Structure 1
């Protein structure tokens, strides 16, 4: 694959030994002092237990796209190096980064988020996939019925189409949100407030591939 861009090499130099040691302690706690983590190791994490999209969060840790091991499929288990790769998506934007590094890290964060929606790994978030996420997010609200959640998702998808495609013909069908569309939708939105890790008091690390 060749050498990584200079911006990536500079970003990896921001990792401190203390950060790696702290994350390794969290990894051992989560794995039960085993060399790898499996999905069931997340079952007893209090901060995830009541999260309405718990299954998608856990799945993201094993998604080969996020692990940079392929364009689809899920890993059965992950080691500490894989764990660091996943945690890198949650790193805060560092004030020492130049503009190229900032944009790179932001794009990688959004790619991780995109993968959570794109459950079939076809590179497009369909209406049905978006409905599933919205329904899960609103599942804990007793005042919102499933049909209302679907209407919210449908409205959001129509708005996405207007942002990404513009004026559509009456018979034109919007097939779904591509990653480029996703970047347009999130333009100007502070991704830092949307992506953070709280379970097990994990610290984010200064790493961006």
Structure 2
């Protein structure tokens, strides 16, 4: 976040781009600096010591989402090696609740952005589709923490859920 004299202008721009308040941006900037070790960018390794992610079964997908160029609005695919603070805010903005002061068109646009973000998390090969194999991987990751569910059971659950979804969304998957 630049020199002191330009900080307020930078914060105003970030408020407009992300929807975070200036206080939230300052708080997220402190967290960014903590994660990055006071460096100007964050790499995937910087997420290795985030306690809230350590036990999350889809941790790898969440971390990958921070570096996915599609989520960073920087292209149609591929992963960035590192992200700066503005990129970090862009990704964090997907996790914000929808603002109740938005009109219906803005709400729909916001929902579409959030769904696109989630889609990108699961479309691991960036081909614009979530295949049965990608879906299986997600279900297996989510169920991996449950010692009572074997891998074959997780695969059957994924297959059944995908077939049900396919019957409802014919032509959209």
TM-score (norm. length: structure 1): 0.72
Residues 116 and 11 of structure 1, relative CA distance in 2, 3 Å threshold: farther
What are structure 2's unaligned runs of at least 5 residues? 16-20
Structure 1 residues 100, 29: closer, same or farther in 2, change over 3 A? same
Q: CA deviation at 1:2?
A: 26
Deviations 1:169-195 (A, max 9, x none): xxxxxxxxxxxxxxxxxxxxxxxxxxx
Deviation at 1:26, TM superposition (A): 1.0
Contact persistence 1:11–1:101 (CA under 8 A): no
66 and 77 in structure 1: CA distance in 2 versus 1, 3 angstrom threshold: same
Aligned residue pairs, count: 168
* CA distance in 2 between partners of 1:102 and 1:17 (Å): 22
Q: 1:18-44: CA deviations, max 9, x gaps?
A: 121111111111111110000000001
Higher helix residue share: 2
* Rounded Cα–Cα distance in structure 2 between residues aligned with 1:6 and 1:105: 29
Higher relative contact order (CA 8 A, sep 6+): 1
Q: Within 2, Cα distance between the matches of 1:158 and 1:62? A: 30
Matched-pair contact (CA < 8 Å) for 2:136–2:159: yes
Distance 1:50 1:57 in 2: 12
Are 1:66 and 1:86, in contact at CA under 8 Å, matched by a contact in 2?
Answer: yes
Deviations 1:113-153 (A, max 9, x none): 10111000000000000000000000010000000000010
For the structure 1 residues 21 and 128, does the alpha-carbon distance in structure 2 shift closer, same or farther, using more than 3 Å as the test?
same
Q: CA RMSD in A?
A: 5.9
Shift of 1:14: 9.6
C-alpha contact (below 8 Å) 1:8/1:101 kept by paired residues: no
TM-score (norm 2): 0.86
Alpha carbons of structure 1 residues 37 and 61: separation in structure 2 relative to 1, 3 Å: same
Cα distance change on mapping 1:53 and 1:25 into 2, 3 Å? same
Q: Which ranges in structure 1 are unaligned for 5 or more consecutive residues?
A: 169-209
After superposition, the Cα gap between the structure-2 partners of 1:139 and 1:4, relative to the gap in structure 1 and judged at 3 Å, is farther
Question: CA 1:108/1:158 → structure 2, altered by over 3 Å: closer, same or farther?
Answer: same
2:11–2:25: 8 Å Cα contact kept in structure 1?
Answer: no
